[in-house]
Amino acid sequence: MHVNTAFSETTTQRGLPLASLLAFAMTGFIAILTETLPAGLLPEIGKGLGVSQVMAGQLVSIYALGSLLAAIPLTVLTSGW
């Protein structure tokens, strides 16, 4: 079996960008949490807002759509950072 020594040497010399990986992991976790958590809380959200569970679900869908529409422009704007 042939091992790509050029790849393994550069990987061991530089090491993993641990801070960047942790930032990406935390960002992914928070993004998924904020998108999925409201689905389990629809009865409480509906009661708190004084609307039905269906309307609460629609509000969560509108939030998700807003996140979707904002993701690409924000990525383009912050890509230089």
The model's pLDDT over 13-64, given as tens digits with 9 standing for 90+, comes to 678 899 999 999 999 999 888 878 888 899 999 999 999 999 999 998 898 8
Structural domain contains residue 11: no
Whether the full predicted model's pTM is greater than 0.85, yes or no, is no
Structural domain contains residue 42: yes
Structural domain contains residue 6: no
Structural domain contains residue 51: yes
Question: At 8, is the pLDDT very low, low, confident or very high (cuts 50, 70, 90)?
Answer: low
Cβ pair 38, 60 in contact under 8 A: yes
Structural domain contains residue 27: yes
Helices (H), 1-81: 5-14, 18-40, 42-49, 53-78
How far apart are the C-alpha atoms of 41 and 49, rounded to whole Å?
A: 12
Is pLDDT at 80 greater than 90 in this prediction? no
pLDDT given for residue 73 in this prediction = 93
Structural domain contains residue 8: no
Structural domain contains residue 7: no
Q: How many domains does the chain have?
A: 1
- Its domain, for residue 29, covers 17-78
